[in-house]
Amino acid sequence: MTQIGFRRIVCASDFSLASLPAWMFAQRLARATGAELTLLHVVAPVPVPLEVAFDVEGYQQLADEEREAARARGQQQLDGAIPGLRTRLRIEDGPAAVRILKVVDEGATDAVVLGTHGRAGLDRLLLGSVAEQVIRLAHRPVVTARLVPTPPPPEEPIRRIVYPTDFSPPARRAWAWVRALAEATGAHVDLLHVLLEVVPDRHVDPAFLARAAATIRRDALRVTDAFVESCGLPGDRISVHLLHGVEAEQIVHAARSHRADLIVMGTHGRSGFLQLALGSVARRVLHGAPCPVMTVGPEVLA
């Protein structure tokens, strides 16, 4: 396993208002970790009208103009970045998700940041959108930042990370990135574990149900204590929260109540990332999180 760190971050932007939270958080992350930040924009192919004669020179001129306009817009965005960041601009052509994934793979990127509301909208997240494809196929963690009323400014430190876990292998794999972030930023980690619920049944002795609930909680405490003991962070840098209720709702609520700067989670928990379209925990968290969410997917290489 290679050492996990944050040396190069890519922020993919379509320059829409909805992509601004991703750019703001990418600056926060780069500032906190000292990483180089690349602003990536993919120019979509210029549509070719099929009902008229195809003008190759005219088409190329339009494509060149689109590219130059994108470069000017990107440079303007870089010029407005917070001082002290190491930044660069990259303009690509072609299908957005394909080009983003290629740039991430070839550039030794440690994380990619993008918005979930771009031009397609969040509802398209499950219908082959750029965000869905990148989250599912990227070999590095993906941070998604959705539109919120008042996102923190880029100068704001990363102080609090929420780490939901069911202690499955994918969730444990995500911990490596939580730890790297906590070590780089000094952030406090809130570990969340939502307990299995004992469903009341009038045919079952209430005393038996109470004992079952107590056993579940005792086992969870044993597992979390062992995890904290071996997690690699000092004990005063991590808080454990054993919760009851619907997983996604509890994660979103905890992120809000603890004023989290970031949620980090594996996407192959009990339901698996491919269940996004069926309303999995990951999808609901992405939809309702009050802060950016880093997903460590099945294709992520450690």
Phi, psi of 53 (to 5 degrees): -65, 140
Spatial separation of the C-alpha atoms in residues 110 and 43, rounded to whole Å: 23
Task: State the Cα–Cα distance between residues 153 and 82, nearest whole angstrom.
Answer: 10
Phi, psi of 162 (to 5 degrees): -100, 130
Confidence at 142, pLDDT banded by 50, 70, 90: very high
Q: Give me the CATH code for the 158-302 domain, please.
A: 3.40.50.620
Beta-ladder partners of 115:
145
User: pLDDT digit string (tens) for 34-79?
Assistant: 999 999 999 987 666 665 566 667 667 777 888 899 999 999 999 9
Instruction: Please tell me the predicted confidence (pLDDT) of residue 51.
Output: 58
DSSP string, 47-109: PPPTTS---HHHHHHHHHHHHHHHHHHHHHHHHTSPTT--EEEEEEES-HHHHHHHHHHHTT-
- Fold classification of 1-156 (topology level): Rossmann fold (3.40.50)
The reply to whether 1-156 and 158-302 are identical in fold is: yes
Domain parsing of the chain, residue ranges: 1-156, 158-302
Residue 261 has what DSSP assignment? S
Question: What is the predicted pLDDT for the residue at 52?
Answer: 59
Residues 237-262: tens digit of each pLDDT: 999 999 988 899 999 999 999 999 99
Strands 142-145 and 293-296: antiparallel
Percent helix, strand, coil in the chain, to 5, is 45, 20, 35
Q: Please, which pLDDT band fits residue 123 given cuts at 50, 70 and 90?
A: very low
